[in-house]
A = this chain, B = another copy of it.
């Protein structure tokens, strides 16, 4: 069984690298997918390919729809969707992805620090696991695949 895991949310820390590196080292059978994490490319992809816009709204609209090709496909094909909320920013697209995944019946893992617990209570309640660290995600993947627990 190969697990398909989509890593959604925060793009300013290296949490995706931590997970994929640990999974590779553990030899777990996991295929990862996720959004484009180059912030500038993600913001400007629409106008870069389809031409400039005067209004910021349409500049962003073109980019967001282009990114949606990748993100929706990734979520729809995933067995597990991990959504990480970082320490700052609104991160509404992370919550949007979580809602999207929940409506599709995907197994949802939410990652965030304790300080955001109350604000994320609806998102957490839709999840099958709520964790704080990339290491815990790796432990979950190992358990789901092999029934192996840490320590």
A residues whose Cβ falls under 8 Å from a Cβ of B: 1, 31, 33, 36-38, 41-42, 44-46, 48-50, 54-58, 60-74, 79-80, 85, 89-105, 107, 116-126, 128-131, 136, 139-140, 143-144, 147-151
23 A–B contacts, CB within 8 A, in A order: A1-B33, A41-B143, A41-B148, A41-B149, A44-B149, A55-B58, A56-B117, A56-B118, A58-B58, A60-B121, A63-B121, A65-B129, A66-B129, A67-B122, A68-B122, A69-B129, A69-B144, A95-B96, A96-B99, A96-B102, A97-B99, A100-B100, A100-B103
- Chain B residues near A95 (CB, 8 Å)? 92-96, 99
Q: Are the CB atoms of A66 and B126 closer together than 8 Å?
A: no
- Chain B residues near A101 (CB, 8 Å)? 99, 103
| A79 CB to nearest B CB, Å | 5
